[in-house]
Amino acid sequence: MADVGVFDDARLENPRALAEADAQLRWLASAGARIRLTAAGMAAAGSAERLLEFFDLGRRPRGVLVVGGEARLIRAVLEPVCPVPLVAWPFDSLPGWVGALDLVVVLAATGSHPGLQSIVSEARRRGAPLLVAAAPGSAVAELAASRSTLVLPVPTSDPLAAAVGVLECLHALDLGPAVKPELVAEAVDTVAEQCSPHIDLAHNPAKELALGLADALPLVWGGSVLSARASRRIAEALRLAGGRTALAADASDLVPLIAAAHRRDPFADPVDGPDEPLRPVLVLLDEESDSPSVRRDRGILAALAEEHDVRICVVRGTAPGQRPVATYAALLMYGLYGAAYLAIGLGRPGSAHGF
C-alpha cells in the first residue's frame, strides 16, 4: 500500500479503499433524496401561504436579510431579480437597520449554531418577521417560535437542501425566481449516477478529476455568480480532501498565478530527481454560459494555461432548460465527488466528509 499522501489511482477501483469512504459517498449519493424530503416537509408546513399573513395580505418586506449556511447562494439567486434590498449577512448580530418591516431569513440546517441563535433572538426583540429553516425541536427553532415566525422543518443537516426549499418559498413571495426542487434533485441524481464508485475511472468524471488533481494545487474558476459560488465550496472541499492549498478566485486574480507557473522539465528523472513543487492545475467550471464576459474570461484562462504548460480540468454541469440552481447543484456535486475521490486516492478517506 502506498504511503499516505501519495496518490494511488488503484485505490479508486479498490473495494476496500472505497468501503472506507462509504459514509461520505452515500451522503453525496443521497443529495437528491434530501432535497425532495426537505421540500416536501416545508410544503406541508404551509410555507409561503402562512408567511404572507405576516405582511398584511401580501405586502412586500422593506428589505431581506439572509444568514446561515448557503446565505450567499440565496443572495446569488435572488439579487438579480429581488424587488427589495437584499443582504447576505455573515455576522452574529443584526445590522442596525433591521426592524419590523424587514424579513430575516435564517438557514440553520442543524439548528444549533450559537450565532444564529443570537440572530433569531435579536430579530424577535425588534419585531422582525422570521423565516427560519431549521431542524424541528432544535435550539434555533425553539427560539424562533412566535406569531411572526414561520419555521420550515429541515429533516437533514444538508445546507443545500435547506437552501433549495427556502428559495422555493421566497419565489412564492415574489422575492425571487422560480426554483423547482424536483429539477434540482434530478440534476444531482444524474451526477450521482455518473460518479458512482461502481463506475470505473475511464467513464467516471469525478474519478478523472481526482486523477487530474493528484499532484497539483487546484485553481478553481467559475464565470457566473452561481458557478463562482460553487467554485468556492469545491475549493474548500479540495483543501480538506488533499490537505493542501486550493484556491477559488476571479479570472483577474488567477491570471498572475498561472503566468508564474514554472515549466516542467521534460528531462527530469521522476524517480531519482529532486522533488518537484506541486504545480497549479486550472479547474474550469463549465455551465455552457452564453455570457460574453464569461466566455472571454474562460478563453483568456485556457489560453494562458496552455502557454504556461498548466493542466486544465473541466467540470461540466448543466440542467435541462438552463435552470441556474440545478446547474449550480450539478457543478457543486461533481466537484464534491472529485474531492471525495481525491481523498480516497491519497489515502485520506472521509477527510472531506460533510460537504
Question: With 60 as the cut, is the pLDDT of residue 55 above it?
Answer: no
Question: With 50 as the cut, is the pLDDT of residue 124 above it?
Answer: yes
Question: With 70 as the cut, is the pLDDT of residue 339 above it?
Answer: yes
Residue 354 pLDDT: 53
Question: With 60 as the cut, is the pLDDT of residue 4 above it?
Answer: no
pTM, entire model: 0.91
Domains delineated in the chain: 9-29+184-345 (3.40.50.10490), 45-179 (3.40.50.10490)
Residue 240 pLDDT: 94
Lowest mean per-residue pLDDT among 19-28, 112-121, 214-223, 320-329: 320-329
Name which residue leads in pLDDT, 302 or 48: 302
* pLDDT band of 147, cuts 50, 70, 90: confident
193-220: pLDDT as tens digits = 999 999 999 999 999 999 999 999 999 9
Residue 268 pLDDT: 58
Determine the average pLDDT of the residues in 44-58.
61
- Residue from 18, 6, 5, 16 nearest 206 by CA: 18
* pLDDT band of 192, cuts 50, 70, 90: very high
Residue 288 pLDDT: 81
Determine the average pLDDT of the residues in 315-324.
76
Mean pLDDT across the chain, nearest whole number?
Answer: 89
Residue 3 pLDDT: 43
Question: With 50 as the cut, is the pLDDT of residue 278 above it?
Answer: yes
| Torsion angle (degrees, nearest 10) of CA 129, 134, 139, 145 | 30
Question: With 50 as the cut, is the pLDDT of residue 1 above it?
Answer: no
Judge contact between 102 and 128, C-beta under 8 A.
Answer: yes
Determine the average pLDDT of the residues in 159-173.
91
Lowest mean per-residue pLDDT among 91-95, 124-128, 136-140, 288-292: 288-292
Residue 172 pLDDT: 82
Lowest mean per-residue pLDDT among 7-16, 84-93, 189-198, 311-320: 311-320
